[in-house]
């Protein structure tokens, strides 16, 4: 019975670590996407950093990527920047892979 309990605890620990890493990867992805969007919006320096942080914060409104996409679309529309939802989603995917690689590299 002890071996089973030990394996169960180890599996729970692995699962918790995986979930934590994915949370960090998504947060880092959002910051990377925020920096990308800030560049398209013509923001630089402190304004760009603040915008990237705002994109990270936008992700806490609801589950999934919808809140981030909505923020980006609204901000692009307000500035007259023509970026489709498809491009935003593709960028989210690309930046997630980049964020995962950064976390794996340490």
Domains of the chain (ranges, CATH numbers): 25-105 (1.10.790.20)
- Of 47, 72, 41, the closest CA to residue 58 belongs to 72
Residue 97 clears pLDDT 70, i.e. is over it: yes
Which of 9-18, 24-33, 69-78, 88-97 is the least confident region? 9-18
HSE of 96 in the Cβ direction (CA atoms, 13 Å)? 11
- How far, in whole angstroms, is CA 61 from its chain's centroid? 13
Cα angle value 98/100/103 (rounded, 5°):
110
- C-alpha span between 22 and 4 (Å, rounded): 27
pTM: 0.84
With bands split at pLDDT 50, 70 and 90, how would you rate the model's confidence at 44? very high
């Amino acid at each position: 019975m002890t071996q089973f309990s030990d394996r169960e605890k180890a599996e729970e620990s692995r699962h918790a670590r995986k979930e934590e890493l994915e949370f960090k990867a998504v947060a880092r992805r959002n910051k990377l996407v925020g920096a990308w969007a800030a560049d398209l919006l013509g923001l630089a320096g402190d304004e760009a950093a603040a915008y990237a942080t705002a994109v990270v914060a936008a992700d806490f409104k609801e589950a999934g990527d919808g809140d981030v996409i909505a923020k980006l679309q609204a901000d692009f529309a307000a500035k007259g920047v023509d970026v489709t939802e498809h491009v935003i989603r593709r960028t989210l995917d690309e930046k997630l892979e980049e964020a995962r690689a950064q976390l794996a590299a340490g």
